[in-house]
Amino acid sequence: MEQAAENMDCPRRHKLKRPLRCIVKLGGAAITWKDELEMINEKNLASVTLQLRQAMMSHSTVIQTMDWSKRAGTAELVVPDSFGDQQISSDAFIVVHGAGSFGHFQASKSGVHKGGLPSPAVTAGFVATRISVTSLNLEVVRALAKDGIPALGISPLASGWSTCKRNVENANISEVARIIDSGFIPVLHGDVVFDSAQGCTILSGDVIIRQLAQELMPQYVVFLTDVPGVFDRPPTEANAVLLKEIVVNEDGSWSIVKPVLPHMNKAVQTATAAHDTTGGMATKISEAAMIAKLGIDVYIVQAGTDHSLKALNGELKEEMLDNWIGTIVRNSKSF
């Protein structure tokens, strides 16, 4: 277990045997029905896994399922007869997913995100939240494995991640690096963790991504969401405008480059579900800005679209495509 870097100006670096191409955040609202308790959006998850396979495994030959476990409604295990001369080769990716309708309800009900161990309600909520988020992680890993992606689930709590006053205090990056160097795709998730100041809290997937980015330095980061990108107000409101490009300065401040808005000095408004204990889009924008400050481009885009596939493929690294729909967050030095 390593002590996490104290600030973004002096981050610890881990040298991988092969370059990390991309960290992908699967938004909880994109892969689950967020208003339906513990309900996976099977169609969206299948679409996302297909695009991830296309982006990270273009050099592999015929891909067979790696999920050999028995599923409900099946009479027997599905195991390939032979792999023959198949080549399993994936680019180095990390997948982190949010909880969506898994975990948030349990955490909100018990107040786990506020701490309070060892009170009975928080103790029970800690257990209930963890059961929920790890069950979603298993289903995401199985979906990826079914499409031939060598995915391995990593639970932050079990692998030693912890916080102090809700800021990352310990992060087991070495375990993630070992999985990548061994040819696998690590799949992490938002989790309940111990907090040295308040007992416990929720560690969001967005915060995990920022920690991974500053220590492993991917070429780019992609946030897959349930909306086309970042808007100047909740996208359900009339006249909401998609922010195409945001630049982050060395001091951490950021500004909207495209489009030019009449209310440029107005703060971007965000909407957060009542049961969301991780900050919703506001946290996402904040973490994206901190990643961009490192010189890493961040793409926020709707999951399962042609635009998300372009982002996953890294097609926006060289130039911003005029017909691309999404939000790019970049360091001002990129201009």
Task: Tell me, yes or no, whether 169 lies in a domain.
Answer: yes
β-pair partners for 189: 97
> How are beta strands 220-225 and 245-248 bridged, if at all?
unpaired
Asked if residues 31 and 40 have their Cβ atoms less than 8 Å apart, the reply is: yes
Alpha carbons 334 and 61: distance in angstroms, whole number:
36
Per-residue pLDDT at 8: 52
Query: pLDDT tens digit string along 102-142?
Result: 998 898 889 998 998 999 999 999 999 999 999 999 999 99
Alpha-carbon distance of 125 to 104, in angstroms, equals 10
- Do the domain assignments include residue 78? no
Tokens of 107: 């955490």
Which pLDDT score, from 0 to 100, does residue 14 have?
A: 75
Rounded distance between C-alpha atoms, residue 214 and residue 10, angstroms: 9
- Helix and strand numbers (H, E) in the chain are 8, 14
Using CA atoms, how far apart are residues 17 and 8, in angstroms rounded to an integer?
23
| Residue 71 domain flag | no
- Cβ neighbors of 184 (< 8 A, separation 6 or more) are 150, 151, 152
CA 104 remoteness from chain centre: 16
The pLDDT value recorded for residue 37 is 93
Would 126 be classed as within a structural domain? yes
pTM check: above 0.85? yes
Q: Say what the pLDDT of residue 34 is.
A: 83
CATH classification of the domain holding 270 = 3.40.1160.10
Residue 75 covered by a domain: no
Domain count, the chain: 1
pLDDT beneath 50, residues of the chain: 1-7, 267, 269-280
pLDDT of residue 136: 97
Rounded to whole angstroms, the maximal C-alpha distance in the chain is 63
Residue 77 lies in a domain: no
Distance in angstroms (rounded) separating the CA atoms of residues 301 and 227: 7
Give residue 317's domain range. 2-6+16-59+89-334
Q: Is position 81 within any domain?
A: no
- pLDDT score recorded for residue 10: 53
Of 188, 182, 148, 183, the residue nearest 53 (C-alpha): 148
Flag whether 316 is in a domain.
yes
